[in-house]
Amino acid sequence: MRATRARLRALVQSPGPLSLSTLLPEVVDLPEERAAVLDRLGRRREAAAVLALHDLDKAEAYAAACADPREACAVVLAEAVRRDPTGELAVGVLERRASKVDVLGALEALPDDAPVDRVARVVSAELARAASAHREALVVRQLLKRDNFAATLALHRERAASFVVTADSRCAACRRAFKGDAAFVRFPDGALRHRACVSPAVHVALQGGQPA
Ligand SMILES: [Zn+2]
């Protein structure tokens, strides 16, 4: 077996023309070599699939290194979901390889009870990176199909957004400026209020408590 592996490796890694297809039957039981042959044949999805069944970490590294990693990453994600139906394993792949993954496809592949908060973090980072409004709209539409997602994502984006309180900023309730150490609340529409100028009912809503 060792000799076979060494011979095949040398053959596969040698430069120049090589009839790789004829090698495939030889490497049925050698997943890494089989994947290497499939890769050289340009069959990267299959290469990723063979590796994923054998060693998910290696498959992930392989897929991420592909010139066009999306298809291979999708294969790895699918295998991760098959191995761990809670979605934890797949979300780990998504977190590590966010820039290599087709996020739309990944959202469809993830089980419904995948850890929403972690997925939303990845997706909101992807949205920040998204080059076009069209793509952002696609991602958002996909997210909205997952009921518990919209709110979590909105929260992440809201938290990630930065804003500046200037000397000209005024409290929406009392119209006075904000002193340096003043506690304030920012509403989803961007309005600012002193904490003391927020009605008790809103405090209850913000803190999730019961009215006294
Ligand atoms: Zn005020």
Distance 188 CA to ligand 1 centre (A): 17
Distance 193 CA to ligand 1 centre (A): 5
Q: pTM of the entire structure? A: 0.59
CA 125 to chain centre: 8
Looking at the fold, whether 68 and 170 belong to one and the same domain comes out as no
Distance 86 CA to ligand 1 centre (A): 47
Instruction: Confirm whether 12 is domain-assigned.
Output: no
Distance 185 CA to ligand 1 centre (A): 10
Looking at the fold, whether 185 and 208 belong to one and the same domain comes out as yes
Distance 80 CA to ligand 1 centre (A): 52
Looking at the fold, whether 156 and 174 belong to one and the same domain comes out as no
Looking at the fold, whether 167 and 127 belong to one and the same domain comes out as no
Q: CA-to-CA distance for 134 and 127, rounded, in angstroms? A: 11
Instruction: Confirm whether 15 is domain-assigned.
Output: no
Instruction: Confirm whether 185 is domain-assigned.
Output: yes
What pLDDT was estimated at residue 151? 66
**Domain span including residue 180:** 163-212
What pLDDT was estimated at residue 174? 93
Looking at the fold, whether 143 and 88 belong to one and the same domain comes out as yes
Block mean pLDDT (10 aa), the chain, length 212: 72 72 80 92 94 96 94 95 94 92 84 84 75 64 65 66 76 88 78 83 54 40
What pLDDT was estimated at residue 36? 92
Looking at the fold, whether 190 and 96 belong to one and the same domain comes out as no
Among 74, 160, 70, 161, which Cα is nearest to 121's? 160
Query: Which two tokens mark 164?
Result: 């500046």
What pLDDT was estimated at residue 51? 96
Q: Are the C-beta atoms of residues 110 and 90 closer than 8 Å to each other? A: yes
Distance 168 CA to ligand 1 centre (A): 13
Q: CA-to-CA distance for 127 and 75, rounded, in angstroms? A: 23
What pLDDT was estimated at residue 212? 39
Query: Which two tokens mark 3?
Result: 């000799």
Looking at the fold, whether 156 and 167 belong to one and the same domain comes out as no
